[in-house]
Amino acid sequence: MQTLASTDRRGRPHLLDASMFRTAEGGGGVHRVLGAKREGLLERGWRHSVLAPGATGADEIDCGGVPIPASGGYRFVLRRRHAARLIEAAEPDIVEAADPYVLGWAVLDATARLNVPSVAFCHSDLPTLMARLVGGPAATARGRWAESHAAHYLCRLYSRFDLVLAPSRAMTQRLHALGISHAQHQPLGVDCAAFTPAANSPRWRERLAAGLGLAPATRLLVYTGRFAPEKNLDLLADAVRRLGPGHALVAMGSGPRPPQGAHVRLLPASSDTRRIARLLASADAFVHAGDQETFGLSALEAMACGTPVVVHAAGGLGELATGVGLTVPSLRVEVWAEALRAALDHGASPLAWAGMARARAHDWSLVLEQLTARYRLAIREHQRARGHGVLFAPPQPS
């Protein structure tokens, strides 16, 4: 069995992140979030480890899993007891589950035996996802049945966690409505040193356009993320097509439902933060029509680059971009085409500058201060509830 022994427990708290959606190949928002957390926690004197399918790096544990077809590299973890034992062997002081499936239950098993606090981070709206998966995009009786059962399941799981976090106020309120009253709002962050207007490179953009078979003057509308049904990429492709010649949708990612069309260009998912930032900063606009997002990390990264964003008004995306981007409260292609045209006509508008300011307020340096404070409080409250002394005192002001 692979083990990670905790060291210097009194002076160096240890967080273990368990995530089914952290792929071995790298790339994607989960990979960037965990990488940023690791870097920030280490700088703050923490120890950080990751449990994920196919994990191979330092302080990483491979929990196995079976490939999910047409998912872009995801694996579904089946061995709950095995995963729990791996967590126990790592001896963390606090454990966070990033998905509500088998690993979520394994985290509860392990933290109960270790007598340490458990954290659930709600990165996806499972009831809405199941309603669409079972019932299709339109509201149906089957979809409502699936949504109800998923909501009951989520409540049963999350009610057992010491701390439940959600990245948007909308998702926090949804969890409250489901009966998960102890859910708290905790936004994610962005690396503003990497995602910056300085990443814009006209020469790199020219080479990119040439490599994609596009004329140099082509207006580039960029999407980064998973190619999944709930992202409504077909809608984006149709909207860009309506803009006419000289416009292209450049989509970077992987998944079962890539956008299609003569005006669409696909780029593979990348784990190179500099390449992603260069693409976003060099684009004419960032676009995202997903209506089930709990946050909108890629939109935040585009905002940090000073790129205008056009996103769906629903959920976390709408919440994140309201007042600093164009939010579209519709899935009608003509409405989207009009919004995209408006974003291109305005160029580097005051909205883009406001977007940069909002992104800087979400810099990981600030977000991690809040997040580590939540972790420390959870550890202290857990220890007090069980009659133990406080092992990790908060840092004293200098």
Angle of helix 80-90 relative to helix 102-114, nearest 10 degrees, comes to: 40
Checking if the pLDDT of 357 tops 90, the result is yes
| Residue 6 maps to a domain | no
What tokens appear for 345 in the block? 């006509």
242 and 149, same domain (yes or no): no
* Mean of per-residue pLDDT scores for the chain: 91
Query: 395 pLDDT band (50/70/90 cuts)?
Result: very low
What tokens appear for 159 in the block? 């009610």
| Residue 319 maps to a domain | yes
Q: Are 27 and 81 in contact (CB under 8 A)?
A: no
128 and 52, same domain (yes or no): yes
Short-list 138, 131, 133, 129, CA closest to 331: 138
Give me Rg for the CA atoms of the chain: 21
Q: CATH number of the domain that 103 lies in?
A: 3.40.50.2000
Phi first, then psi, for residue 89 (nearest 5°) are -65, -30
317 and 332, same domain (yes or no): yes
> Residue 397: its pLDDT value, please?
37
Checking if the pLDDT of 230 tops 60, the result is yes
Domain count, the chain: 2
| Residue 392 maps to a domain | no
| Residue 225 maps to a domain | yes
211 and 259, same domain (yes or no): yes
Query: 112 pLDDT band (50/70/90 cuts)?
Result: very high
Which domain covers residue 148, as residue numbers? 14-190+363-385
> Residue 388: its pLDDT value, please?
57
What CA–CA distance (Å, rounded) separates 47 from 1? 21
233 and 256, same domain (yes or no): yes
Beta pairing class for 163-166 and 219-224: unpaired
| Lowest-confidence region among 53-57, 182-186, 283-287 | 53-57
| Residue 162 maps to a domain | yes
237 and 248, same domain (yes or no): yes
Query: Each residue of 327-344: pLDDT tens digit?
Result: 999 999 999 999 999 999
| Residue 117 maps to a domain | yes
| Residue 232 maps to a domain | yes
182 and 77, same domain (yes or no): yes
Q: Are 278 and 262 in contact (CB under 8 A)?
A: no
Q: Are 96 and 16 in contact (CB under 8 A)?
A: yes
256 and 294, same domain (yes or no): yes
Checking if the pLDDT of 310 tops 70, the result is yes
157 and 218, same domain (yes or no): no
Checking if the pLDDT of 88 tops 50, the result is yes
Mean pLDDT of the 239-261 span: 96
H-run or E-run covering 221: strand 219-224
Short-list 201, 275, 285, 216, CA closest to 250: 285
Checking if the pLDDT of 4 tops 60, the result is no
**% of residues, the chain, pLDDT over 70:** 92
What tokens appear for 130 in the block? 């199941």
334 and 369, same domain (yes or no): no
Query: Each residue of 77-87: pLDDT tens digit?
Result: 999 999 999 99
Mean pLDDT of the 155-178 span: 96
> Residue 7: its pLDDT value, please?
43
> Residue 139: its pLDDT value, please?
77
Query: 178 pLDDT band (50/70/90 cuts)?
Result: very high
Checking if the pLDDT of 3 tops 60, the result is no
Q: Are 315 and 294 in contact (CB under 8 A)?
A: yes
| Residue 395 maps to a domain | no
> Residue 394: its pLDDT value, please?
45
38 and 157, same domain (yes or no): yes
83 and 167, same domain (yes or no): yes
